[in-house]
Amino acid sequence: HHRRTLTLEQRAARCPNPAGRRLLEIISRKRTNLCISLDMTDSAEILSTARLVAPYVCLFKTHVDIVADFSQDFVAELTAIAEEHDVLIFEDRKFADIGNTARLQYEAGMYRIAEWSHFTNAHVVSGPGVVDGLRGAAERLGRGLLLLAEMSSAGSLVTGPVTELAVELAAREPALITGLIAGGALLPDTADVITMSPGVSLAGEDSPTARPAAGDSFGQQYVTPRRAIMDRGTDVVIVGRAIIGAADPVAAAKLHQTAAWQAYEQSVAH
């Protein structure tokens, strides 16, 4: 099992990134380290699901470029739901261009991501300049950046030197880089870097009870919250279809919240 030396509450108190601090406080207060991935293409559907699952999650993860009827009204409504229920927003944009283009994609265009998203993420394949492109708006608005250190999909090339660069940048500047997207913790918890893991489902490949749905037909691979949190030391689990595709999304959200929180509590106790 992965060893934690600090609780998420202790890490909130010392977190150098404002959005990260807020997230860790919300996690501790609501007792949920579950992020819901709202991967729907209709804004009304996203908003109604967000409303239903909000009490059980710390973070709404979006892909605004899949929303067919995107508007700033949609963003305002999502923000209102988030504020009402003590949830933050993470636009999973995966910036990957040179710094200057990433800067424009983050601040401008029809989405204006920096204005409303507490967190966004970036690949480091183009080198550390992407972080400098995102830095201006992130620092001005108190946002958090997450770097992709690993991906959950089969055959991912986000490995080796790419992983190393993401880890090095996060370790060097946790006040800007709130965390890493990875399968598990890649730094000790004293590094003040939050780890978030996608590819999580109660029906993951190591599930002792559910009939394992180890992936999808596009290379996605799932592990259970327990494996991601207890064995691999992640802090936040990102769950999409296991909740939004369930017959009862609220029940599925509750089950994933409970499993993820229990796994966290056990990894603190031992």
**195 binds ligand 5IU per the rule CB under 6 A:** no
Distance CA 17, CA 242 (A): 30
**Residue 148 contacts ligand 5IU per CB under 6 A:** yes
Of the two residues 246 and 268, which places its CB atom closer to ligand 5IU in the complex? 246
Q: Least CB distance from residue 226 to ligand 5IU, whole Å?
A: 16
Q: In this complex, which beta carbon is closest to ligand 5IU, that of residue 28 or of residue 195?
A: 195
For residues 6 and 189, is the Cβ–Cβ distance under 8 A? yes
CB closer to ligand 5IU, 137 vs 148? 148
Location of structure tokens 């936040």:
236
Helix 43-53 vs helix 72-85: angle between axes, to the nearest 10 degrees? 0
* Closest C-alpha among 182, 191, 93 to residue 143: 93
Helix (H, G, I), strand (E, B) or coil at 16: coil
Among 241, 246, 262, 265, binds ligand 5IU (CB under 6 A): 241
Considering only 240, 255, 263, 267, the residue that binds ligand 5IU (CB under 6 A) is 240
Residue nearest to ligand 5IU (CB): 240
- Strands (E) in 97-188, as ranges, are 119-122, 144-148, 177-181
State the distance between the two ends of the chain, measured CA to CA, in whole angstroms. 9
Between 131 and 151, whose beta carbon lies closer to ligand 5IU?
151
Torsion angle, alpha carbons of 98, 104, 110, 112, to 10? 110
**Contact positions with ligand 5IU (CB under 6 A) in 120-139:** none
Pattern 55-94, binding to ligand 5IU, x per CB under 6 A?
Answer: --------x----------------------------x--
What is the rounded distance in angstroms from the CA atom of residue 24 to the CA atom of residue 32?
10
Query: What DSSP letter does each residue of 233-260 carry, written as one string?
Result: --SEEEESHHHHTSSSHHHHHHHHHHHH
**Residue 94 among the catalytic residues:** yes
Nearer to ligand 5IU, 12 or 249 (CB): 249
Question: Of 69, 73, 94, 254, which is the active-site residue?
Answer: 94
Among 113, 151, 166, 252, binds ligand 5IU (CB under 6 A): 151
Our answer to whether residue 206 is catalytic in this structure is no
Q: Which residue among the candidates 86, 97, 132, 231 is catalytic per the annotation?
A: 97
Q: Which tokens is 3 given?
A: 């060893």
39 interacts with ligand 5IU by CB under 6 A: yes
Binding mask 155-194 for ligand 5IU (x = CB under 6 A): --------------------------x-------------
What gap in Å lies between CA 122 and CA 127, rounded to an integer? 11
Containing 42, the helix (H) or strand (E) segment is none
Quote the CA–CA distance of 25 and 206 in Å, as a whole number. Answer: 30
Write out the residues near ligand 5IU by the rule CB under 6 A.
37, 39, 63, 92, 148, 151-153, 181, 198-199, 220, 238-242
